[in-house]
A and B are shown apart, each in its own frame.
Chain A
Amino acid sequence: MPRKNPARERPQRRKTTHHHGEPADAFRCVGCRLDVPMIAPGTAHRNHCPHCLTSLHVDHRIPGDRRAGCRGRMAALSVTVRPDGEWLIIHHCQSCGELSANRIAGDDNALALLRIAMRPLSDSRLPVNALLAL
């Protein structure tokens, strides 16, 4: 369902970390227990479940370094947009409170993404006065 943005020319970051041995071809989501294949359309880093968007806290400072000792569950907290229009999910670690930003993949659950994006707007304490003042 996600459509390709032809204006996007931003290359993916270089892979500076190397995994030893054979890379795994699937992982099980800690949130919904879905078996997720590592091959994702539109990205070389599958770092969250495409169904429930939950991630696992395994990386420390650099994506892919696998140096975090936490291994807590990271829930999707909010959605942000890069200047080129690409969406990022802000993940929040439930055990240590760390935040991380991850690109969405091509097969991510569009309904779950939209629910997170709509969360500020469905709030009753919305600053409507700011909009009415325009």
Chain B
Amino acid sequence: MAANGKPRSIVNTETFPCVRCGLTVTATAPDGSRRNHCPSCLHSQHVLDRVEGGPSECRSRMIPISIAVLRTGDWMIIHRCTRCGELTSNPICGDDNQLILMRMAVRPLAQPPFPLEAFGDL
């Protein structure tokens, strides 16, 4: 028996294919939570409607556009739907591709809209 009282023999082996890279991904993350994006390319699928609530009819690909840091220090991935433009935020998983995470985190600083040299004096 596991700690939560459920028999350990029932293992969730549910998988889904990533809509972008085609990787077969287990639906359960290593920490036991339910996965909502591919750990390899971080793309997601628009299946939940945030504004209306409930399932969404869009079902298109959602691309990761930025990293948000909560007050608790946890990282969230902001996804945008390629078809309807809806934005969602999801917590990152332990096995997410760290190179893509870092690339999204530094991308704004690579293309600053103002010269960064002035901040050296502060």
Contacts and interface: CB of A to CB of B under 8 A. Distances in A.
Give the bracket for the number of chain B residues in contact with chain A. 20 to 34
Contacts, number: 94
A6 B66 CA distance: 24
Interface in A88-125: 90, 92, 97-101, 104, 110-111, 113-114, 117-121, 123-125
A5 B114 CA distance: 10
User: What DSSP secondary structure best describes chain B's contact surface?
Assistant: mixed
A2 B88 CA distance: 29
A55 to B, nearest CB: 14
A78 B50 contact: no
Contacts of B67: 78, 120
Interface string B84-115: 00011100000000110110011111111111
A29 to B, nearest CB: 21
Nearest to B119: A114
Nearest to B84: A61
Nearest to A134: B99
Interface in A49-93: 60-61, 77-81, 85-87, 90, 92
Interface of A: 1-3, 5, 60-61, 77-81, 85-87, 90, 92, 97-101, 104, 110-111, 113-114, 117-121, 123-127, 129-131, 134
